Structure 1
Amino acid sequence: MTVPLSILDLAPIPEGSDAATALRNTVDLAQHAERWGYRRFWVAEHHFVSVASSAPAVLIGQIAAATQSIRVGAAAVQLGQTTAIAVAETFGMLEAFHPGRIDLGVGRSGQRRREAQRDGAVKREPKPVPPWRQIDGVVIPAPFDITAMMRNPRLKARMSVLQQPEAVAPDFAEQVDDILAMIAGRYRIGDVEAHAVPGEGSALTPWVFGSSKGQSARVAAARGLPFVASYHITPATALDAVEVYRAEFQPSPALAEPYVVVSADVVVAEDNATARHLASSYGHWVYSIRAGDGASPYPDPDLVAPLTAEQEAVVKDRTATQFVGDPDEVAHRLDALQRVSGADELVITSVTHRHPDRLRSHRLLAEHWGLAGGC
Structure 2
Amino acid sequence: MTLSVLDLAPVVSGQRAADALRNTLDLARHAERLGYRRYWLAEHHLTPGVASTSPAVLIAAVAAATEDIRVGSGAVLLGYYPPLVVAEQFGLLANLHPGRIDLGLGRSAGIKESDLVKHPVFSAPEFIARYRIQQGLLGVREGAVEPPYAEQVGRILGLVGGEHHANVVEGADFEVWVLGSSAGESAVTAGELGLPFAAAYHVSPRTAQDAVDAYRAAFVPSERLAAPYVVVSADVVVAEDEATAVELAAPYGQWVLSIRAGDGAVPFPSPEGAAAFEWTDETRAKVVDRTETQFVGAPGDVARRLDDLRTATGADEVLVTTIVHDHAARVRSYELLAKAWAQV
Q: Structure 2 length as normaliser, TM-score?
A: 0.90
Equivalence for 1:31: 29
Q: Give CA deviations for 1:298-334 in whole Å, capped at 9, x if unaligned.
A: 0001222252222111111110110000111211210
Shift of 1:170: 2.5
Identify the residue that residue 200 of structure 1 maps to in structure 2. 170
Q: How does 1:199-348 map to 2 (within 5 A)?
A: 199-304=169-274, 305-306=276-277, 307-348=279-320
- State the one-letter code of the partner of 2:158: A
Deviations along 1:135-181, one digit per CA (max 9) or x if unpaired, are: xxxxxxxxxxxxxxx9x9459958x9599323244321111010000
Within 5 Å, give how 1:86-125 maps onto structure 2. 86-110=85-109
Residue 370 to residue 248, structure 1, CA distance change in 2 (3 Å): same
Give how far 1:205 is off: 2.6
In the other structure, the counterpart of 2:322 is: 350
Go from structure 1 to structure 2 and tell me whether the alpha carbon gap of 1:234 and 1:162 turns closer, same or farther (over 3 Å shift).
farther
In the TM superposition, residue 253 of structure 1 has moved relative to its aligned partner by: 0.3
- Does 2:153 align with 1:176? yes
Number of residues paired by the alignment? 327
Conserved? CA contact 2:200–2:232, under 8 Å: yes
1:85 is matched with 84
Q: Is 1:164 aligned to 2:130, yes or no?
A: yes
| Structure 1 residues 365 and 337: CA distance shift in structure 2, 3 A | same
User: What is the alpha-carbon distance in structure 2 between the residues aligned to residue 77 and residue 218 of structure 1?
Assistant: 18
CA distance in 1, matches of 2:342, 2:308: 17
Question: Offset at 1:293?
Answer: 1.5
- What residue is the counterpart of 2:143 in the other structure? none
Secondary structure, aligned partner of 1:261: strand
Identify the structure with the greater helix proportion: 2
Structure 2 stretches of 5 or more lacking a match?
141-145
Q: Is contact 1:80-1:170 (8 Å) kept? A: no
| Aligned equivalents of 1:162, 1:271: Cα separation in 2 | 52
Gaps of at least 5 residues in structure 1 are: 119-149, 188-193
Query: Structure 1 163/279 Cα, relative in aligned 2: closer, same or farther at 3 Å?
Result: farther
Cα drift, residue 19 of structure 1: 0.5
| CA pair 236-257 structure 1, distance change in 2 beyond 3 A | same
Matched letter for residue 241 of structure 2: D
CA contact (8 A) 1:154 1:293 kept: no
CA distance in 1 between counterparts of 2:256 and 2:304 reads: 24
- Residues 35-80 of structure 1 deviation map (CA, whole Å, 9 limit, x = unaligned): 0000000000001112110011110001000101000000010001
Q: What is aligned with 2:6?
A: 8
User: Do the aligned residues in 2 keep the contact of 1:272 with 1:324 (CA within 8 Å)?
Assistant: yes
Task: Give the residue type in structure 2 aligned to 1:317.
Answer: D
Q: Distance in 2 between matches of 1:162 and 1:8?
A: 32
Partner residue in 2 for 1:144: none
Cα contact 2:10–2:267 (8 A) shared by 1 = yes
> Which secondary structure state, in structure 2, belongs to the residue aligned with residue 351 of structure 1?
coil
Q: Is the 8 A contact 1:81 1:163 kept in 2?
A: no
Alignment partners' CA distance in 2, 1:171 and 1:162: 23
- Which residue is 2:42 aligned to? 44
Instruction: Return 166-175 or 335-344, whichever deviates more.
Output: 166-175
Q: Is the 1:81–1:162 contact (alpha carbons within 8 Å) kept by the matching residues of 2?
A: no
Task: Indicate conservation of the 8 Å contact 2:100/2:174, yes or no.
Answer: no
Structure 2: distance between partners of 1:5 and 1:163: 43
Q: Distance in 2 between matches of 1:74 and 1:17?
A: 24
Is the 1:45–1:77 Cα contact (8 Å) retained in structure 2?
yes
1:65–1:163 CA distance, 2 compared to 1 (3 A): farther
- Structure 1 window deviating more from structure 2 (8-17 vs 300-309): it is 300-309
CA distance in 2, matches of 1:236, 1:156: 34
TM-score if structure 1 supplies the norm length? 0.83
Deviations 1:325-357 (A, max 9, x none): 011121121011001000001100000011011
CA distance in 1, matches of 2:260, 2:184: 22
Letter in 1 for 2:306: L
- Asked if 1 retains the 8 angstrom alpha-carbon contact of 2:122 and 2:128, the reply is no
Give the aligned residue type for 2:189: V
Query: 3-state SS of the aligned residue for 1:256?
Result: coil
